[in-house]
A = this chain, B = another copy of it.
C-alpha cells in the first residue's frame, strides 16, 4: 500500500486521533523497531516502556496509555483488535491467480468456481465443490465430495478425506489433515476390530486451523467445528467432537472423541481433554491441564505444575508418594490426648 494518512485510518476504523491527521504511514512495526512512516501498537503492558521512545509515526493505544506516547496516538478501547484490522488493511494477503494449475489433477464431476485458484500438484476429487475466490494450495488433496466455501484458503499440502465440508473465509494451514478415520477400535478375543468411520467433518465459517493439526471424521455422525473457531498447530480433535463458535484452541492440545466444547471457550497449549465430556460455554482451560470430567460452570481451570529446580522437585515427588500416610498421621495427632504417636511411619 502506498501509504495512508492517520486521518484516513481514524475514520476507517473509528479511532480517536491525538496528532496530525495528515501524517502518512505505510507499514506496521513493533514499538521498539519502528521507523518514521510506520504505525505500531501497545496491548501487552510489558512493552509499555517503549511508548516513550518509539520512532513510530503513530501508535494504536488505549486511552490510558495515550498520554505516554511520544508519537501520534490512535486511540481504541481495544488496541490489539484495532491494530489487527489496520495491519490487515495495510498488508493485504496477495490474491492468488485464479485458475487450475496445469499440473493439478481435477477428477470428473468436480465443480470449481471461475475465480478459485487450484495450485500445482493439487488433487481435487470427484464431485468436490470449490467456491468463489477459494484457494487450494500446492499439493493439497481433496477426497471425493468435499466442499470448500467462498474465500476459504487451503495452504499447501492440506489433506481432506472424502466429504469434508469447509465453510467460508476459512484458513487451513499446511499439513492439516481433516477427516482421517477416528480412533475407533473394538477389542475382541484375538485383537482389534476396526470400527468403520462413516461420518464426516463439518467446519463452519471464519475458522482457522493450524499446521499439522488433525481433525478426525465422525464414527457415525459428523465431527463439527463451529463458526469462528481458531485452532493452532499440532492439535488433535477426535471423532464426533463438537467445538462451539468462537472457541480458541492453542497448540498441542488433544481432545478425545465425542467431547463437546461450548462457545467462547479458550483451551491453553498442550491441554488434554478426555472423551465423552461436555465443557460449557466460556470455560477457560489453562495450558498443560488435564480435563477428565465435564465442566459446566464458566471460569478458569488448571492442573499444570510449574517447573522447579529438579532436586527440590524430586524431593516433593518422593513426599507425594507418602501423602496419604501423612493425612493419617495428622489425623492421629489430632486425636484428643495424642500429641505424639509412637507407631507412626517414618517420614
Binding site for B on A (CB under 8 A): 28-30, 33, 43-44, 46, 78, 80-81, 83-85, 87-88, 91, 93, 101, 103, 105, 119-121, 123, 137-139, 141, 143, 155-157, 159, 161, 171, 173-175, 177, 180-181, 183-188, 191-196, 198, 206, 208, 210-212, 214, 216, 220-221, 227-228, 230, 232-234, 236, 238, 245-246, 248, 250-252, 254, 256, 269-270, 272, 274, 276, 285-293, 295, 299-317, 319-324, 326-331, 333-342, 344, 347
Contact = CB atoms under 8 A, between A and B. Distances in A.
A333 B332 CA distance: 11
Contacts of A328: 347
B288 A290 contact: yes
Contacts of A214: 175, 210-212, 233-234, 251
| Interface SS of chain A | loop
Contact of A302 (B269, B286, B307): B307
Contacts of A331: 347
A238 B283 CA distance: 23
Contacts of A83: 186, 195
Nearest to A335: B340
A301 B292 contact: no
B285 A307 contact: yes
Contacts of A211: 159, 177, 180, 214, 216
16 contacts: A44-B276, A81-B188, A81-B193, A84-B185, A84-B186, A88-B194, A161-B174, A234-B234, A252-B254, A293-B307, A299-B309, A330-B347, A331-B347, A333-B339, A334-B344, A336-B340
A292 B307 contact: yes
A301 B290 contact: no
Given A141-B156, A251-B238, A272-B287, A320 B337 contact: no
A50 to B, nearest CB: 13
A194 B228 CA distance: 10
Contacts of A300: 309-311
A212 B210 contact: no
Contacts of A293: 306-307
A46 B313 CA distance: 26
B323 A320 contact: yes
Given A175-B212, A234-B234, A316-B323, A336 B342 contact: yes
A24 to B, nearest CB: 19
A338 B306 CA distance: 35
